[in-house]
Amino acid sequence: MNIKNLFKNRTVLGITCIVLALVVAFVVAPIASHGGGKNVKVVRSVKDIKSGDEITKDMVSEITMSGTNQPSDTVSNINDVVGKFATMDMIKGDYVLSGKLADSPYVENTYLSGLDGMNRALSITIKAFANGLSGKLKPGDVVSVIAPNYKKTGTTVIPAELQYVEVIAATTKSGADTDEATEEGKEKEMPSTVTLLVSEAQSKMLAELEDDGTIHLALVYRGKKENAEKFLKAQQELNTNAESEAVGNESE
């Protein structure tokens, strides 16, 4: 091959490479980019919304925008928002996330309004992270109360009266219940107290244990309400038997 033909071939190859590079840069890349960032519908607030507000049509709008980097729980249909209640504040322009919505208005500490005079709500202190199941207790859980050095005897026991107790709340130092939604960007706080649903006799025993030393909580059951009720019913029978024995001992 002579020098002239070699130079000619290199020139053609160079021009071809340049053309291919331009095609990739200005045709293929934009197509790929648009394909990855498919447009989606999202619902955003058009005015400030306070926690507890019922969301009306004039508070939100549905817009179409790129789906790239959108939160996975962004609501896409305005009909899924209108009529719901905000569980936390939203400012104008915020995405409406499913975690910020509830079907009914949030009423603070609704579990306390359900007390009927038969039971009491009593909070105990979680003095160490492990004592309260490492912050994982939830309302509806059934727990056993473990008392180390019970009544200064040096033994660790689960009192018969506190084998199966229902958790109704786990609360942080700031006073917020741990099952409430955490504001975006804020670190979730660990509970410092656990509130239990107990009888009068159980509340007195728990108060003594709290005053004497450290209480540990062991998870017994988490699940369906009807199954949890079986444990609580068994505890009622234990308490009734204990009360009957106490009355019998006093009469002797």
Please indicate whether residue 156 or residue 3 has the higher confidence score (pLDDT): 156
Note the pLDDT of residue 189. Answer: 81
**Cβ density class 20-29: b for 16+ within 10 Å, e for less:** eeeeeeeeee
Note the pLDDT of residue 35. Answer: 46
Distance (Å, whole) CA 18 – CA 16? 5
Phi and psi (nearest 5°) for 192?
A: -110, -15
133 by Cβ neighbours in 10 Å (0-12 / 13-18 / 19+) ranks as buried
Domain segments of the chain as ranges = 39-102, 110-251
Instruction: List the CATH code of the domain at 39-102.
Output: 3.90.1210.10
Distance (Å, whole) CA 204 – CA 104? 36
- Dump pLDDT digits (tens) for 105-146: 655 556 676 677 788 999 999 988 888 888 889 888 999 999
Number of Cβ atoms within 10 Å of the Cβ of 33: 11
pLDDT(246) > 70: no
Q: What are the beta bridge partners of residue 218?
A: 144
Please indicate whether residue 32 or residue 105 has the higher confidence score (pLDDT): 105
* pTM: predicted TM-score of the whole model, two decimal places: 0.55
